[in-house]
Amino acid sequence: MEKYFEINGFDLTIKDIIDVAVGKKGIVRMSDSAIEKCQNSRAQINRWLEKDAPVVYGINTGLGNLKNIKLSTDDHCKWNETIPYPHAIGLGAPIDPLITRIALLIRANVLCRGYSAVRPELIQRMLDIFNAGISPVVFELGSTGLSDLGPLAQSAMVVAGMEEAEVFYEGRRTKAKECFEALGIEPEFVLECKETLSQMNGSTMTQSISVVAFNAFKKLVEVNREILNVEGLLSRELISTQQTINQACDSALSYIHETLNFENNVSCDNPLVFEKENGFYEAVMGCNCSNTQVGFAMDLLAILVSEQGLMVNAAIFQLAEASDGLAGYCSISESLLNAIRAQCIPASADSISTKGNQEDHVEFSYGAARKAMQSVKLLKTMVAGLGSIAVLKAEQSDYQAVNDSQFLKALSKNFDLQNKTLFMSDRLNVAEDLFTSHILI
């Protein structure tokens, strides 16, 4: 019997997102209440598309200089097909497929609230792609965070099955349409009125990066604490300092956790559509695509990563100081810590007006999320190094207390510790050690 996980736009958590993404909760689908909300608000969009309807920005008008010019239904449909192209600009390497796939889930959840007034069919299309394990190819550079227009336009092109759109599936990069056809998914999906902008208006890619970075950091903190709590491994002074830092870290993590969980369920679109009475709705304009608070949270996360890195580095030095054969870990650790500290300059402290000053305040939350993610990746290597050196030191001294740590116990089983002469000279297998430790983390 298949398992299902329902989304409604109001209670999606970080844990839900990660569990769903790794297949722990089954197939994702819309709740009945979400379907009804979307159907009701969509009916108002259809009324605004009638000939005698008033001018409503973003629904029966153009954008920019055409914001007060009413468009015909046919013109609006054509416009929906072309609007992603001037925005779908990206540079650099593709974003981690896990992140772009999670962005589909978060966006689908936000649209389930009904305030964007898209058809339930659009949300189902996004979930079909997500449930199939498909990830849009989205390039890492191209957003300020004041709406992730570039990244989300690239994602919207995948949903529509546009010719240029690409996806990742089972580690392979291919054209979206080819992938859909191979999996029995309709290769193209026509985006109707408001359905292109409703995918692009918002900072969902920033949110997805932030969720993944936060979850990864929490795991690293748990592993790090597990290692440091092994009895007799490190000095009492270092452990005491770590415990003091942990209290402050936990408080800050609670703030980040609360911020991200809130943002998983926030309508971010322009305009939003709200019910007034008797099934009629009003369109409310505003900058409903900003993500300033997540930028603040991610800049804070980068600082927390640096603080954890400092403690990991101190532990590595304490373990390695009595062994010439492990000195190489110290140099690696210091270089990684230096790189992490460079990421602590807050991106959200900056603001550069864009689009001819039309966007006068730009929070750069996307940059804050990206550098937090980069810091977490560097910290992962540091924690991997700490785990490796703890196991190697234990093997040297026949120290059995490392078995109190599930991570170190598993790591010890995976290491090749036969050639003990390596401990008497510079360690030659550092890269191999770190690779093994990385996988276990």
CATH classification of the domain holding 382: 1.20.200.10
* pLDDT computed for residue 79 by the predictor: 81
Q: What is the pLDDT of residue 423?
A: 42
**Same domain as 145, residue 213:** no
CB of 168 closer than 8 Å to CB of 135: yes
- CA–CA separation, 301 and 59 (whole Å): 38
Whether 273 is covered by a domain: the verdict is no
242/308 Cα distance (integer angstroms): 9
Q: Is residue 281 part of a domain?
A: no
In a domain, 314, yes or no: yes
Cα-atom radius of gyration of the chain, to the nearest Å? 25
Any domain includes 276: no
Whether residue 364 sits in one domain with residue 436: yes
Element (H, E) at 127: helix 120-131
Last residue of a domain, which of 153, 186, 201? 201
Strand partners, 172: 169
Task: Encode burial over 316-333: b for 16+ CB neighbours within 10 A, e otherwise.
Answer: bbebbeebebbebbbebb
| Of the residues 174, 201, 228, the one at which a domain ends | 201
Q: Per the structure, how many domains does the chain have?
A: 2
Cis peptide before 271 (omega within 30 of 0): yes
- 230 and 172 in a common domain: no
Distance separating alpha carbons of residues 425 and 416, to the nearest angstrom = 16
φ/ψ region of 11 (left if φ > 0, alpha if ψ in -120 to 50, else beta) reads: alpha
Which of 157, 181, 201 is the endpoint of a domain?
201
Work out the end-to-end distance of the chain between its first and last CA atoms, rounded to an integer number of angstroms: 32
Q: Assess whether 212 and 166 both reside in one domain.
A: no
Task: Verify that 13 and 114 share a domain, yes or no.
Answer: yes
By CB atoms closer than 10 A (0-12, 13-18, 19+), residue 218 is middle
Q: Kindly state whether residue 345 falls inside one of the protein's structural domains.
A: yes
Determine what percent of the chain is predicted with pLDDT higher than 90: 60
Q: What is the pLDDT of residues 197-223, one digit of tens each?
A: 999 989 999 999 999 999 999 999 999
In a shared domain, residues 130 and 252: no
Query: What are the pLDDT digits (tens) for 157-204?
Result: 999 999 999 999 999 999 999 999 999 999 999 999 999 999 998 999
Q: Helix 97-111 crosses helix 149-160 at what angle (to 10 degrees)?
A: 80
Please give the structure tokens belonging to residue 371.
């550098």
Same domain assignment for residues 162 and 311? no
Indicate whether 294 and 193 sit together in one domain.
no
Do residues 393 and 319 lie in contact, with contact meaning Cβ atoms separated by under 8 Å? yes
Give the domain range for residue 97: 4-201
For residue 415, what pLDDT is reported?
Answer: 67
Q: Report the Cα 71 to chain-centroid distance in Å.
A: 36
Counting as low any pLDDT under 50, the low residues of the chain are: 418-428
pLDDT for res 397: 64
Same-domain check for residues 212 and 183: no
Q: Is residue 386 part of a domain?
A: yes
**In the prediction, which pLDDT does 409 show?**
81
Between CA 16 and CA 23 the distance in angstroms is 10
- Check: CB of residue 383 under 8 Å from CB of residue 223: yes
The pLDDT value given to residue 425: 43
Q: With respect to residue 280, please indicate whether it lies within any of the assigned structural domains.
A: no
| Residue 111 confidence (pLDDT) | 98
Same domain, 234 and 169: no
State the CATH number of the domain containing residue 71. 1.10.275.10
Q: What is the pLDDT of residue 341?
A: 97
Residues 210 and 301 in one domain: yes
The verdict on 186 and 215 lying in the same domain is no
Q: What is the pLDDT of residue 272?
A: 94
In a domain, 275, yes or no: no
